[in-house]
Structure 1
Amino acid sequence: MEHSGLPAVRSRRLTWRATVLGGAVTAAAVAIAAFAPSASAAQVDVKYGGCTSSNPGLAAAPPDYTTKVTLTPQGSDFKTGQAIRITWHYSTSTAPGPVGIPVANVATAKAKILVAGAASSTITTADSAKFPPSPVAAGGTFQIPDMTATFTPTAAGTYTLTPGDNEQDVAQFGVVVNCKASGATAAATITVAAGTGGTTSTSTATSATTTAATATTSTSTLSTLPHTGFDGRWLFGGAGLAAVLGGAGIAATRRRRGSHG
């Protein structure tokens, strides 16, 4: 008789252990979900081709080439209506043509980012800082500075970010070099939760009719992208540019001599 209560005690102990174990599992699941990343980024290869130049005499359009791009969303805990800053980084240095780049800080770059998933749109980066920081000798290399874009999601869900067409501008000489992107896979994925308020989107988003697979092959046409660019593998017309700079110097000298005449 003195052992008649043991089964009940054991049953209560087993029930208590199961409850504790179940609570621990639930807590672990919640912790994992809470600390799970809401964004991921990867370095991807992007093929650029069909390049054009607005002034081939100074900067000839480069041949087709492939470069590496990383798109990094800044921050975490993304919500609808709140702007997300995205950094575009060229992961490989680039090489000019055989004549090099004889003038420092003459070019800027910008690019398109294709957004797909919960909603689809195309956003444009701001201009990069001017480059190269110093003249580049024939056969030398240079790095295009990072560029940034702002994207404001309008719908909750998962988005993919894919590198698109890009551009290089040499404004003081009226040169715009455009290249079209193809073959890129998504370089970043973000998960956006429902939110309220926030800033107005810098791009027009539509319903999610574009899948990630579509985004990997989509390219913007140059007719809709008047200023797109490329990673800098240009055949810079050093001789033509030198002639322009030389002509300006001669004109200035003549004006000075005339003022003393």
Structure 2
Amino acid sequence: MGMPLSDTPAEVETNRMLESFGYTVLGNIGGGSFGQVKVATSIKHYKHVAIKILDRRRMSSTEAKYFLERELAILRILRHPNIVQVYEIIAMPTGKVFIVMEAAETDLAKKLKRVANIPENQAKKWFSQLVSAMVYMHEKDIIHRDIKCENVLLTVDNQVKLTDFGLSDFSLGFPMLTQCGTFHYLAPEILMGVPYNAKKSDVWSLGVLLFVMLTGRLPFRTSRPKDLLRLQHRTLDYPWWLDIGRSCRDLLSKMLEVNPNKRPSMAMVAQHPWLLPCYKR
């Protein structure tokens, strides 16, 4: 489980620190917004755990003050069955921070590399869980700002868990200006650099994710910001679009509405007829 361990002095020291807290590192499983992630066994929790490792010494003062502290504050608040559970946050005097959380079987991006797409009935179940998590977050005035397939974990019991809150923030009712997120999932208003309602931008990103789940493709494929903005204004009429059920297409069209004022809230998405049969708060 995970990639082989590195034997650099820094890695060895980190692994020793974790072992002193009851965690035996097995390998590396990737990285988040501002740190690497390891998989370990835990004598505390009697299971595999994922440990996100952050180092204040390698961050600028701005990153340490705004991004790290905000992520830690948000993680201490969130408690939802479809949001990755945090077991422990360990802050070391050396500046390192270990965020210990539940480990998952894989993530949605890796799943989509193995299969062409997710069948609509299965996609509906997973998507309803993500919407439930996002409604919960938005009700607490917390925005994710980096919704994408890589940040959706899949568990052994076929549940999804939203993860990586490194770019998350508190939404206090004011328009935001920070341009952040993953390029192909960015809402038009973020690309245009205008003040935006971040909750509505989360809705857009989740709409892109749903499209990718159902088709195995990005709805807007380009590497240039100007071209992405142009494509976002076009009607979704690709051949594989017709393989999606009518009700689901209606939901996607609403979530991928270019005008954020016409785009539904996350709570409205939860009430769409396509989701209602399996949506749970």
TM-score normalised per structure 2: 0.20
Choose between structure 1 and 2: higher helix proportion: 2
Choose between structure 1 and 2: higher strand proportion: 1
Task: Tell me which of the two structures has the higher relative contact order, counting C-alpha pairs closer than 8 angstroms and 6 or more residues apart.
Answer: 1
TM-score normalised per structure 1: 0.20
